[in-house]
Amino acid sequence: MPDAIRVFAGDCTVTTTGSRESDLRGEVVVLLKPDNTVLVHDCDGYQPVAWLTRPESLVYDGTADGEFSLTAVDDDSRLDVTANAEYGLGRYPASRAGTPVGTCPDCDDVLTRANGVVTCLGCAARYGLPAGAEILDEGCSSCGLPTMRVERGRAFTLCIDRECQSLDALITDAFDRAWDCPDCDGSLRIIRNGTLLAGCESYPDCETAFAFPTGVVDGECDCGLPAFETGTGRRCLDATCERAG
């Protein structure tokens, strides 16, 4: 169980020091998330009565005999929870809650999308999505995973698994050497250097390079480089150019 939420219910003493000082006692539920975030909830409202988000250190002790204690520390903030009486202690599988986008071809469980990642709730397979990707209803003919539509110079439809289909390869096939370098006689190559770039083939003699934008090519900018239609308007391949509008 790689990711799990631990839950404790009981009569607890809850002490917080630092920016939010309090000394509480009550029948509460304590949630300990996989990233060690601690949330203490009572019977009121939706907001926890005490919490510490992703603490630097956490010491946790919970046993089947009802003993429970927790100390979380982050900078000058400290949260201590001690059980006076135990009502329940459990450990449960946890995942990100996302929008269902299909069925995993490997285990037949649900695929969900959240925060730019598609995750299987069954086998925990993960597929990172490019910015602006739209998940489509049709599945990949090769592997059965969902397909996506991604705009990078043109609209590409491909599998969400980059090992099945490479977006970089599709962009390279479409635009490698398609444009001239504005600063020398070379052509712009499609390269990956942390981010996707259209960079001069004469590097290092010419260091001209442009981050490849999200959007589709829409004619030519007044500067001679391609113009892109994006979700925020028309722009030049060169993000510093103001002549594409």
What secondary structure does DSSP assign to 48-84, as a single string? -SEEESS-SEEEEEE-TTS-EEEEEEETTEEEEEEEE
- Reference 121, options 99, 143, 140; nearest CA is 99
Report yes or no: 189 and 177 within 8 Å, Cβ to Cβ.
Answer: yes
**CB neighbour list of residue 245: distance below 8 Å, 6 or more residues apart:** 233, 234, 235
pLDDT recorded at residue 16: 96
To 5 degrees, how large is the angle CA 195–CA 200–CA 206? 115
**CB neighbour list of residue 141: distance below 8 Å, 6 or more residues apart:** none
pLDDT recorded at residue 243: 72
- Reference 211, options 228, 226, 198, 230; nearest CA is 198
- Reference 230, options 241, 244, 209; nearest CA is 244
Helix (H) or strand (E) segment spanning residue 159: strand 155-159
d(CA 64, CA 15): 23
- Residues of the chain short of pLDDT 70, as ranges, are 1-2, 64, 66, 244-245
pLDDT recorded at residue 126: 93
d(CA 211, CA 181): 14
d(CA 27, CA 14): 10
Longest dimension (CA), the chain: 78
d(CA 110, CA 108): 7
pLDDT recorded at residue 66: 67
pLDDT recorded at residue 1: 39
SS3 at position 190: strand
